[in-house]
Structure 1
Amino acid sequence: MGELGVLIPIIGVCIPIVAIWAKHRKDVLQMQIEATASQSAEKAAQYASKVQALEDRVQVLERIVTDRGYDVATQIEALRDTKSVEDNGSGVPLNFSKKEEV
């Protein structure tokens, strides 16, 4: 019975220590969850702003294509025709002129 008398005070001291540690651990985990949620919200906001910027750029491109779509196609074809006439196969135009130095 003497050994049991020693264990009771030890258990009586350990129980509050374990309870304090468990509460502290719970608080630390709660803070980590809140920090992770905050970081996730920041990343979501960054992604949303990037998506908005991309959507704005696509709208500009769509407007360019729809407003002047035929002109752009015509200009591209004109540039292709000009390049094929000027190109001697090396990528250098044949009709370049060099200014004489005075």
Structure 2
Amino acid sequence: MYTSQNTKLPILGQKNHDGGSGCTYEDETLIKEGWERRFIADERMAKDSEATYLDLGYEVKRVPFDSGSMSEDCHGCEIVVKKFCVLYTRKLSKMKQYKSD
């Protein structure tokens, strides 16, 4: 089982093969900083989504996907997700929006 200090929260709505919660885990540090985990994506989809979120007034952070964070039941997917990243967003503060205009 994955034991990283920063990634303990299972992703809501995902189930392990045994019915447990989450195959992957949120980065607890980013969540505490106000980031919301959106999804795991390949590079092309992440770039497209990043542009959309920026247009909607969000900050966007792309984090390389750590296949080591997958539960033991999900390691069959490890090869597929090696080039994926995790997209996190948070609303821009009023001050940051003002500075960027």
Structure number having the greater strand percentage = 2
TM norm. shorter chain > 0.5: no
Query: Greater share of helix residues, 1 or 2?
Result: 1
Output the TM-score relative to the length of structure 1: 0.19
The structure with the larger Rg is 1
